[in-house]
């Protein structure tokens, strides 16, 4: 029997850990979608007790807060799946050899039940209190989108509004202040409203800086109809034939503005993977984020495989702009608009050349 050489295995796994975790450790899915950011612990639950390191695709490492650093991927699998070294090693060998693997369990404790009636009333109230982006009071929102060079698309989009004074509740449950907020209505795959995406901004149109990694300027409210599939912001009317999807709001607006393509943001890699195109769509263009850890590409590949099996054509498009040293996470099509708008010719050419399905 051959000796299990963990040093050699870890060397072969460099650049493939996130793909392996998606296949072998579904409990890590949320952490994979937000590499470098604190998320609920995949073992104990909670709010933000765990994160994968930014170089996790190379090392497989992360940290369980108030416990210890988990420096590498074999150790990570042993912890999160409660596997022995032998089991973790052999499953990774099977993964590398494209053989069948058996994934570990999802053991996150169930969250406390949400009073959906009260939540729905609050969501409706927040939306009712908001104003159109054309309203004089929505100047901060217009300034926000102008700074990102997507004001034209934002002003013609659906399901985007501005709230003049919305409380920001911090990670510890306390109110950190009252700010203006760009609101985007989030729907599930069936088109039903389920939550609101908020971007808290200053009066001059800058994202609020809360000086803490736990408190972000972008926040998604809790969701009604929580177990329904998919999450997206339907910025433009449902198209026929072809649709584009992206992760971020500004990314979707940038592509729509530059190409005329209907693009809906899905808000995360996890939600991108679960996207289901509406009836009448036979081609999906995925505006893939070019991440250092390749999380965007991994999610796009997962979606592509699922939709292709259903007979939907999927085309993945990464922004041609390179990742610079100053880009902490990576680049997306919103960055492409700022750095070189000529890069959008790639999308226009794909739209022109794509084969048309006949009835």
Number of neighbouring beta carbons within 10 Å of residue 246:
29
* Domain residue extents for the chain: 8-96, 116-220, 241-353
Give me the mean pLDDT over the 336-354 stretch: 90
State how far the Cα of 286 lies from the Cα of 68, in Å rounded to an integer.
Answer: 37
pLDDT tens digits, one per residue of 101-126? 888 887 655 555 678 899 999 999 99
pLDDT at 25: 93
- Taking only Cα atoms into account, the Rg of the chain, rounded to an integer number of angstroms, comes to 21
Those residues whose C-beta lies under 8 Å from the C-beta of residue 266, and which sit 6 or more positions away, are 230, 231, 232, 245, 246, 247, 272, 275
Q: Is 3 exposed, middle or buried (0-12, 13-18, 19+ CB in 10 A)?
A: exposed
Q: Same CATH fold, 241-353 and 116-220?
A: no
Residue written as tokens 């610079």?
324
pLDDT, tens digit, for every residue of 45-55?
777 789 999 99
Q: What mean pLDDT, rounded, does the chain reach?
A: 90
Rounded mean pLDDT, 248-272:
94
Q: What is the pLDDT of residues 163-206, one digit of tens each?
A: 999 999 877 677 889 999 999 999 999 999 999 999 999 999 99
Entry pTM: 0.72
Query: From 3.30.2320, 1.10.10, 3.90.980, 3.40.1350, which CATH number describes the 116-220 domain?
Result: 3.90.980
Class of domain 241-353: alpha beta
What pLDDT sits at residue 333?
95
Average pLDDT for 316-343: 93
Indicate whether 353 pLDDT > 60.
yes
Instruction: Give residue 229's Cα distance to chain centre.
Output: 15
């Amino acid at each position: 029997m051959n000796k299990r050489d963990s040093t050699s295995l870890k060397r072969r796994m460099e650049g493939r850990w996130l793909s392996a975790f998606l296949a072998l450790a579904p409990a890590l899915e949320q952490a994979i979608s937000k590499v470098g950011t604190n998320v609920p612990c995949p073992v104990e639950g909670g709010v933000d007790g765990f994160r994968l390191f930014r170089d996790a695709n190379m090392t497989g490492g992360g940290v369980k807060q108030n416990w210890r650093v988990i420096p590498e991927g074999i150790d990570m699998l042993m912890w999160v799946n409660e596997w022995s070294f032998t089991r973790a090693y052999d499953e990774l060998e099977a993964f590398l050899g494209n053989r069948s693997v058996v994934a570990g369990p999802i053991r996150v404790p169930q969250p406390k039940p949400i009073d959906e009636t009260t939540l729905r009333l609050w969501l409706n109230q927040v939306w009712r209190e908001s104003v159109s982006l054309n309203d004089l009071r929505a100047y901060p929102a217009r300034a926000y989108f102008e700074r990102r060079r997507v004001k034209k698309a934002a002003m013609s989009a659906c399901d985007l509004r501005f709230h003049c004074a919305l409380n920001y509740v911090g990670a510890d449950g306390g109110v950190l202040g009252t700010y203006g907020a760009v609101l985007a209505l989030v729907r599930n795959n069936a088109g039903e409203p389920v939550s609101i995406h908020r971007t808290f901004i200053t009066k001059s149109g800058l994202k609020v800086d809360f000086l803490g990694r736990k408190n972000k300027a972008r926040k998604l409210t809790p969701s009604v109809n929580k177990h329904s599939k998919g999450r997206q912001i339907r910025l433009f009317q449902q198209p026929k034939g072809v649709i584009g999807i992206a992760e971020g709001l500004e990314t979707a607006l940038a592509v729509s503005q530059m190409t005329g393509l209907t693009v809906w943001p899905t808000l995360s890699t996890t939600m991108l993977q679960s996207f289901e195109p509406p009836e009448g769509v036979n081609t999906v263009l995925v505006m893939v984020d070019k991440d250092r850890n390749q999380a965007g590409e991994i999610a796009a590949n997962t979606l592509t495989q699922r939709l292709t099996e259903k007979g939907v054509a999927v085309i993945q498009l990464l922004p041609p702009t390179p990742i610079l040293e100053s880009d902490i996470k990576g680049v997306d099509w919103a960055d492409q608009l700022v750095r070189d708008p000529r890069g959008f010719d790639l999308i226009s050419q794909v739209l022109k050349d794509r084969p048309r399905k006949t009835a």
